[in-house]
Amino acid sequence: MYEFIVFIHVLSAILSIGPFFVLFPLLNRMHDKSGEVLHSQIEVFQASIRIVKHAGHVLVVSGVLLMWQGNWPWSTSWVVMTIVVMISSIVFLAKAFKPKIRQFQAGVIDSSTLIKRLNSSVWQYILLLLIMLWFMVVKPNLW
């Protein structure tokens, strides 16, 4: 059972990070587009964010199950560090994408500003996920 939960946990980690790499070529292609084409590309972007969000929920639930089933103490340093980074990235993810797309749809920012901002948000988010992945795989004993 424990191995199965680890499998689900790793699978959801893949689905939390993977879709972001598809977003770079998509953002590149958005540069010279407008109207219907740009609109459908933004929809693909939003769908990817949704997958990441759902996978993130499975990641947390399976992580909690692993703590319980594996008798890991909650004071384990690499778990605490992952949770700290995760809480900050949840706050970040809430502000990173949706409000920017809304601003564009409301005409507050133009498409090139939108693409630039989404691009930097995607990079920051990947960085946060890679930090968490490092803590999970290396399991450093910090205290």
Closest residue to ligand HEM, Cβ-based?
63
Residue 118: count of CB within 10 angstroms of its CB: 22
- Phi, psi values for residue 73, rounded to 5°: -70, 145
**CA distance to 23, 68, 119, per residue, from 88 (Å):** 22, 24, 19
Choose, by CB under 6 A, the member of 38, 82, 97, 104 that binds ligand HEM.
82
Q: Does 81 bind ligand HEM (CB under 6 A)?
A: no
Query: How many helical (H) and strand (E) elements, i.e. helices and strands, does the chain have?
Result: 5, 0
Contact indicator for 51, 19 with CB cutoff of 8 Å: yes
Q: Which residues in 7-66 contact ligand HEM (CB under 6 A)?
A: 9-10, 13, 16, 59-60, 63-64, 66
Binding flag, residue 79, ligand HEM (CB under 6 A): yes
Q: Is 67 in the site for ligand HEM (CB under 6 A)?
A: yes
Nearer to ligand HEM by Cβ, of 95 and 139: the residue is 139
Beta carbon of residue 83, minimum distance to ligand HEM (angstroms, whole number):
5
